[in-house]
Amino acid sequence: PRDARTIELLLTAQGVTSFEQRVPLLLLDFAYRHTSSILSDALHLAADPYTSHAGARPSAASGAAPVNVGEATITSNAVQLAIASRLGFQFRGGGGGGIGGGGGGGASKDWMMELARETNKHALPRVAPSEWGVRLPSERFVLSGVAWGLRDVLAGQEGEEESSEEEE
C-alpha cells in the first residue's frame, strides 16, 4: 500500500535502515486504530451537553440540549480533549510537551483552565420569567437520576446471595 511506503520513507528519514517487512504495516495499523479511537472519543465529547454546552443548540426547555452522536460536529477542542484524556491513561512516561503540556502525558492544568475559560465565555440559556431555577436535562442525562438500573442489579445480587445461603 501507498501508506505503508510512506511509513517506510519516514523510518528511513529517521535513520532506521533495517526493519522487518511487516513493521510498516504494524505501524499503519496502530496509526489507524489510534486515530479512529481519538475521533470516536471526540465525536462523543462533542455530543455530550456537559462538555460542550457552549457549542450546543440551546432550547428554552433545558440548560444544555443533548445532541445525538450522528448530529454532532467534531470541534478542535473536542479532539484536543480526546487526545489529552487518552494520553493520561494510554501512554506513560516521556518528557515531551504535546497538547496537554506535562511530561507524563495527559492534560495540563493550564490547558484545562484555558479550555474552561473559553467554554465558560458563553452563557447558559436564560430562565423564563414564569419558571424558576435551571432546567435539568432529561432523566437519562442526569448523573443523579434513577435510570441507571443499579437498584435492580443490587436486588438481583441480594436475591442470589439469599438463595445460595438457603441451599447450604
Kindly report the pTM of this predicted structure.
Answer: 0.48
pLDDT over threshold 70, residue 165: no
CB 45 within 8 A of CB 116: no
User: 115 with 77: CB under 8 angstroms?
Assistant: yes
Instruction: Return the percentage of the chain with pLDDT > 90, whole number.
Output: 18
CB 83 within 8 A of CB 102: no
Question: Across residues 43-55, what is the average pLDDT?
Answer: 66
- Please tell me the total number of residues recorded for the chain in this structure: 168
pLDDT of 77 reads: 83
CATH class of 2-132: mainly alpha
The confidence score (pLDDT) of residue 158 equals: 73
Domain residue spans in the chain? 2-132
Residues 88-127: tens digit of each pLDDT:
767 655 444 445 444 555 667 787 788 788 877 877 667 7
Whether residue 56 is predicted with pLDDT greater than 50 in this model: the reply is no
pLDDT at 96: 44
Asked if 52 and 46 count as a contact pair (C-beta separation under 8 A), the reply is yes
| Long-range interactions of 114-119: CB distance < 8 A, separation 24+ | 115/77, 115/80, 115/81, 118/54, 118/77, 119/52, 119/53, 119/54, 119/77
Q: Which residue has the higher pLDDT, 154 or 49?
A: 154
* Residue 44 pLDDT > 60: yes
> In the predicted model, is pLDDT for residue 83 greater than 70?
yes
pLDDT at 49: 62
Query: Does the pLDDT of residue 18 top 80, yes or no?
Result: yes
CB-based burial label for 64 (10 Å; 0-12, 13-18, 19+) = buried
Q: Which residues contact 125 (CB under 8 A, 6 or more apart)?
A: 58, 59, 60, 62, 63
How many angstroms separate the Cα of 43 from the Cα of each of 71, 74, 81, 119, 132?
A: 9, 6, 11, 17, 33
